[in-house]
Chains A and B, each alone.
Chain A
Amino acid sequence: MESNKKYWKGLEELQNTKDFVEKNKNEFAEPLPMEEVLNEAGLNTVTPRRDFLKALGFGLGAVTLAACQTTPVHKSIPYLVKPEEIVPGIPNYYTSTFNGHSVLVKTREGRPIKIEGNPNCILSKGSLDAKGQASVLDLYDVSNLKNPVLNDSEVSWAKIDEFVKAELAKIKTSGKKIRIVSNTINSPSTKAVIADFTAQYPYTKHIQVDAVSYTGIIKANENSFGKAVLPKYRFDRADLIVSFGADFLGTWISPVEFSRQYTSKRNNTALQGKKMSRHIQFETGMSLTGTNADARLPLKPSEEGIALLNLYAALGGAVTGTKPLANNPNVEKAIALTAKELTAAKGRALVISGSNDVSTQILVNAINSVLGSYGTTIDLDNPSYQFSGNDAEFTEFINEMNRSEVDAVFFLNSNPAYEFNDTKAFTDALSKVKLRVSFADRQDETASLCQVIAPNHHYLESWGDSNPVEGYYTIIQPTINPVNNSRNAEQGLLIWADAAVSDYYQYIQNNWAKTVLAQSGTSWKLLLQKGSVTLPERSAATYTFSRELDSVVQTILAESNALAKAGDNAVELHIYQNVSVGDGKSANNPWLQELPDPVSKVTWDNYAAINAKFAEKLGIAERDLVEIKTDKHTITLPVLIQPGQAYGTVSVALGYGRTKAGKAGSEVGQSAYPFLRLVNATFHTASAASLTKTSGTYELAQTQTHHSIEGRNIVRETTLKDYLKDPNSGTGHAHVNHYDLWNEYEQPGHSWVMAIDLNACTGCGACIVACNAENNVPVVGRDEVRRRREMHWIRIDRYYTVNEDGNKVTEEKEIEKLENIDKVSVIHQPMMCQHCDHAPCETVCPVLATVHSSEGLNQMAYNRCIGTRYCANNCPYKVRRFNWFNYWNDSRFDNYMNNEFTQLVLNPDVTSRSRGVMEKCSMCVQRIQAGKLKAKLEKRTLKDGDVKVACQQTCPTNAIIFGDGNDPESEVSKALKSERTYYVLEELNVKPGVGYQTKVRNTVEV
């Protein structure tokens, strides 16, 4: 219903005036000033209001859009056809073998990025050494050859095959000799290939020569027991280990295996059983093994044989003609005591020597026989095949070449032009050979003397196998398509020998089917999954030494006399391998070059290590350059004052001074190979030399420059005797009041913590390289290490203590005053971010770039960091590392990351850090995350052991345990409950998350 009410707007409407009626006709009562607007002011304004607003709106929008930084475009090409087994972001693991150790290769999107020990490996039990960890980087080495080389020009494989075959055919008809020179080959398939090749070319001989030879032990065993083998040593069965210069934890034969065995008698489990082995080391230079010994006595190389003779005599052995060590009463005394201890430990003792002298090793055999070691701590029936080089065969080969009897030579994993002690003799002899073929992956010292370089695959690209010890066979399978145009050396040999099966993959399968697979009853597939086959061990028989020792004694005494020369500058030179660079094969690996030597902490150089008192006598100081001269060779090296070095000796590491290793490894240090002496058909590491100071100075790049603990209780130790009385003896736990300014962080889920057993850590440094590989830690190079800017997230602090009259002298100024500094004890302490619950770094960061996680981790948000470095200053452990430069984009750091090809090795799960950003140990947070995600996908809770951090995983001695502190059943919780547990700098109440277990020394009071 319409309302009948009427509202009027004005009197005009009510009255309905004429005016109103007129106006009401139009929509608007008054005419709009349209004309005015359109004609005059409106159109004459330069910018009408609306246009202005439009322009403003558009302008603002456009500027905003233009100001938006475009996201950097990273081109990634998706799989057109995705391989079934590859899921982007999910790693695949393949079994393979590095140096006889079965490993797992982690690949991401088809490229290997990390090597890890295979838990099935009987040698390593899932651990791996530094070289193994670093080996993945060699795959991405820019110095590798891209194509095969014939007479210095790159050619196709067909050309190579044509050339080599034609040459071989000529040689076959001429009946001249063919030699295949390699380092030790324990691959059954390679051996079979060489046998096939030999069958085709009957004048072929395979010569094995190792850069660092163990011929002495093999020959000695042949002489003593008729078995030319490298025995299997059982450190896990030895209660008393006496080593004469054998660095069995660092470089001697099978250090990973030995470290594991050795620690099994010294770790927490052993200590809980109230037992610990005892280790006495007699040696010249301070080796890694020496640093771990319970008693260590420096002795000169010339004294070593005599000391062994005296030991044998003291054990009741019949020797005539020996003499007491007049100049070294300490050792003389120690030998008598050692003999007593050994006698008491018969059947549980092991005596070893690092010497390559056959006579010395025969004497060691005699001693071990007296001690009843054969069948218990030494096993001759399950020998090791890790080294089988024969020095004499190689020298004979040089003679053959000189006599022009050899027409063809193949070098496989062998580089005599660098490793042989007389490069000139070798080079001259080689020039008489018509066909020279090298399988080297680069133009190395020997390869550059060859007409043909047939680059071999990197082991991660190839098929292969290995038989490192009796009854243990491992497989090498490729994890990436060959990067360069390389080819398996074996395949080359098969092709050149016109073998029936020239495909090496097929060949291996056939070979395994015939031998190991048949014996073990396993399948090829299963083998690839497990990585190895272990045949039942043979029982170790007892052997008794029954030879006449007269000639041995004479040889030893003669050698001793040859080394001990009189004269002011006379010095006994001792050549050794260090843990990082070893024999120099992987000298071009920047991870290894920058891995500090476990003892001296020197990177990127070798040096002349001498005793402080001896240096004082010669007027030599650190940083001086000295000339080391023997009758054969002279080199100039910088001096390193090495505590524990025998007086009157100088130690020089092998593996340096490569001339054609590649970008990183060439011209680093000086080669010590020319100092090796051929005596009685084996290469000896000691020689008489003279040491003279020369002009100039040189600074070594050390990662640690202060070496004593200054009486601080940051490393804690006890003796076995005290430990047995009171397990707390080392920690010195007093009652600590915990007053807190800070709130506790709640850690409702996990609480990630770590336990490090100082008694298990040998200081080998494998963890450092593992961490580098896992976390994309930059390599900074020698100069930056000199500026103390190495980037390692984990380091191993090494401290020396001098024992004097039962007192430990730990202060540098006090040590300088001491007369006798021979009794040095050493401790290794792995140090990384302690993930403090009251982290001093967290409170000082102005931008909250480092914060605490609810799982107890101290986390770095790299993107938030502005680089004030306040956190690093305030870190009492000094574990934070600053990116001083853009290591991945700066031509001055051309070692590693500054190269698109090498960048392929980077772990895609870990950001690479830009310049100006702080970084540090993250406790492998990416691994924690991966573990959690995996557990979630499998709909289960995270188990202890699901997540292993990189350093823990590679540690050969299980010194590092990581896990959930909230889980009372976890391995780490149990380890931290040990009475030996203490926290470094706990009095600061920063509440570190890493607990250390005290070092226990099995010392014997005289």
Chain B
Amino acid sequence: MSSHHESILREPLVTGENITYSKVTEDILVPVENKPNKAWWIGFIVSALGAGLWVFSVSWTFWFGIGEWGLNKTVGWAWDITGFVWWVGIGHAGTLISAVLLLFRQNWRNSINRSAEAMTIFAVICAASYIISHMGRPWLFTWALPLPNQFGSLWVNFNSPLVWDVFAISTYFSVSLVFWYTGLLPDIATIRDRAAGARRRIYSILSFGWNGSVKTWQRFELVSLILAGVSTPLVLSVHTIVSMDFATSLVPGWHTTIFPPYFVAGAIFSGFAMVQTLLLITRKVMNFENYITMFHIESMNKIIILTGSIVGVAYLTELFIAWYSGVEYEQYAFLNRVSGPYWWAYWIMMTCNVISPQLFWFKKIRTSIALSWLLSIVVNIGMWFERFVIIVTSLHRDYLPSSWVMFYPSWVDVGVFIGSIGVFFTLFLLFLRVLPAIAMAEVKLLLKSSSDQAKKKLIAEKAVNRVEAEYYLESLEKYDSISPNVAELQKV
């Protein structure tokens, strides 16, 4: 493929000088092959404490009962399903990046897909933990699966969106896991080849006997493509099904046909925000600036504006349809969201999800690492509130005013949620320690075609149009990791 060059006009996907295949391996395997640095330890201890809180809070719930949460006779779901939907949504960016962008040959995905997929898997684990822990009798969770049983013909209720949910989440988790692991194989083999002793044996087993032959690579490409094909519908279907938990019910504020697209957009929105949150730190701490460039950051910010705007339109559509439907319960539900006792939650949601991403229209903000990170957190908060608004403000005042109540979380609710974030980061940090955070094999593919170095070489060889080369070099100014080489510019 070395003969194939990407257009010089395109921004480089790998920056830095003297990047060789071995340098890629060296750079990316630093955290895997060395003792963790201080930053990692701090992060890990904090996360592990969070995970400990999760274990404590969930055990507390299991011991005493779901009554330890703040739920009541009217509000049967609150922080639990809010957390569940939030985590599932976050997972979506990973799948989108690994599957959809692969099918569309968006090569910039190559340096972020690994972490994004890992994020997906850990987010789905957190989401799944909520499914189990929100049950009144979690020890019977297998009953939600269509397993043969001693009760004869007793099956699950295939009408129930919760059953669809079980299928959706389990399919999603298994496909994501397989896809992620398949992608890891060549990289694990690389680690294996460089390791010695017990590590070598472990990675040897994990590498499934990868030998790097042409046939292996061919199969690898094929499997990746097939799995991408399988995963792509999941990007749409999983959150569609999650939204059906609400959309197929008759609770005013839930019973809306707009939910599937709106949830999918919201999921991708929150997912990219979370990828942003994670990678901006990872790239700094792990010195991955050459591989995760400003171009990646900016691209993801653009997706955030797009999906954020879709979500914003959905919010406004909901309000309009509620008014237009003429259904008084529906109208009240939305009036109550906007101006009821939980008005603050609605307006936090609106501000965080609709207004703040619009700031990314400004290139300065879009390309500022600090602001991008800050806004990604804001979006994550906003998306949590979106689910809270949908779930709690719809339930707490539905049809019969006699049953209208307020919901107040207990410390256990908070503990489980904060704890789930701890679990997520613990898993993510462990992942950074033992597996390459960037798909080395895939980045290496780009080295000869889309790296800054390759492009400069072309310029040096005068193999490209001068105007285009100038444009390219000028536009490099935008990237924080490269200072434009004036000399080089003049050489042209």
Interface set of A (CB-CB < 8 Å, partner B): 704-712, 714, 784, 787-790, 795, 797-799, 829, 831, 840, 843-848, 864-870, 872-874, 876-878, 880-886, 890, 914-918, 984-985, 988, 990
Contact = CB atoms under 8 A, between A and B. Distances in A.
Contacts of A881: 73
16 contacts: A704-B402, A709-B401, A789-B73, A790-B73, A846-B166, A868-B136, A869-B76, A870-B160, A873-B76, A874-B250, A876-B250, A876-B251, A915-B65, A916-B135, A916-B137, A985-B399
Contacts of B251: 873-874, 876
Given A706-B404, A843-B248, 16 more contacts: A709-B401, A712-B401, A789-B72, A843-B157, A846-B162, A847-B143, A847-B157, A866-B135, A866-B141, A867-B66, A867-B135, A870-B162, A874-B250, A876-B398, A878-B403, A988-B250
Contacts of A708: 401
B65 A846 contact: no
Nearest to B67: A884
Determine the main DSSP class of B at the interface with A: loop
Contacts of B76: 869-870, 872-873, 882
B178 interface: no
B83 interface: no
A940 to B, nearest CB: 34
Interface string B52-70: 0000000000001111001
Instruction: Return the 4 tightest CB-CB contacts between A and B, nearest first.
Output: A867-B136, A916-B136, A884-B67, A869-B76
Nearest to A861: B154
A867 B156 CA distance: 14
Nearest to A705: B405
A842 to B, nearest CB: 8
A797 B144 CA distance: 35
B134 A868 contact: yes
B209 to A, nearest CB: 33
A790 B67 CA distance: 12
The residue among B135, B144, B160 with the most chain A CB atoms within 10 A of its own CB is B160
Contacts of A840: 249-250
B180 interface: no
Contacts of A711: 328
Contacts of B160: 843-846, 870
Contacts of A864: 143, 154
A844 B74 contact: no
B404 A705 contact: yes
B249 A886 contact: no
Determine the main DSSP class of A at the interface with B: loop
A708 B402 CA distance: 8
Contacts of B397: 706
Contact of B157 (A705, A846, A867, A874): A846
B67 A844 contact: no
B402 A798 contact: yes
B344 interface: no
Interface string B84-118: 00000000000000000000000000000000000
A990 B406 CA distance: 26
Contacts of B163: 846
B140 interface: yes
B402 A706 contact: yes
B350 to A, nearest CB: 22
B125 interface: no
Nearest to B404: A706
A861 B261 CA distance: 36
Interface string B277-292: 0000000000000000
A868 B135 contact: yes
A988 B403 CA distance: 18
A837 to B, nearest CB: 15
Contacts of B161: 844
B162 A844 contact: yes
Contacts of A789: 67, 72-73
B300 interface: no
B77 interface: yes
B214 interface: no
A788 B332 CA distance: 22
Interface residues of B, number: 49
A624 B372 CA distance: 47
Contacts of B166: 846
Contacts of A868: 134-136, 162
Interface in B247-292: 248-251
Nearest to B142: A866
A7 to B, nearest CB: 53
Contact of B73 (A829, A872, A984, A990): A872
Interface in B108-164: 134-138, 140-141, 143-144, 154-157, 159-163
B71 interface: yes
B316 interface: no
B486 interface: no
Nearest to B141: A866
B401 A799 contact: yes
B332 A883 contact: no
B42 interface: no
Contact of B398 (A878, A882, A916): A878
Contacts of B138: 866, 916
B400 interface: yes
Contact of B136 (A707, A795, A831, A866): A866
Nearest to A851: B157
B285 to A, nearest CB: 40
B328 A712 contact: yes
Contact of B154 (A829, A845, A846, A848): A848
A790 B402 CA distance: 14
Contact of B144 (A829, A866, A874): A866
B304 interface: no
B65 to A, nearest CB: 4
Nearest to A791: B73
Interface in B331-372: 332
Contacts of A797: 400, 402
A840 B246 CA distance: 12
Interface in B437-478: none
B157 A845 contact: yes
B395 interface: yes
Contacts of A873: 76-77, 249, 251, 395
Contacts of A865: 136-137
Contact of B66 (A790, A872, A880, A884): A884
A918 B76 CA distance: 11
Contacts of B405: 705-706, 788
Given A848-B155, A848-B157, A877 B66 contact: no
A787 B163 CA distance: 30
Contacts of A714: 399-400
B136 A883 contact: yes
Contacts of B134: 868-869
A864 B155 CA distance: 11
Contacts of B249: 840, 844, 870, 873-874
A867 B144 contact: no
Nearest to B69: A884
A843 to B, nearest CB: 5
Nearest to A784: B67
A705 B396 CA distance: 12
Nearest to A916: B136
Contact of A917 (B136, B144, B248): B136
Contacts of A704: 402-403
Nearest to A848: B157
A831 B138 CA distance: 30
Contacts of A848: 154-157
A841 B281 CA distance: 46
A799 B141 CA distance: 40
B250 A787 contact: no
The residue among A708, A848, A880, A918 with the most chain B CB atoms within 10 A of its own CB is A848
Contacts of A845: 157, 160, 162
Contact of B72 (A787, A795, A990): A787
A787 B157 contact: no
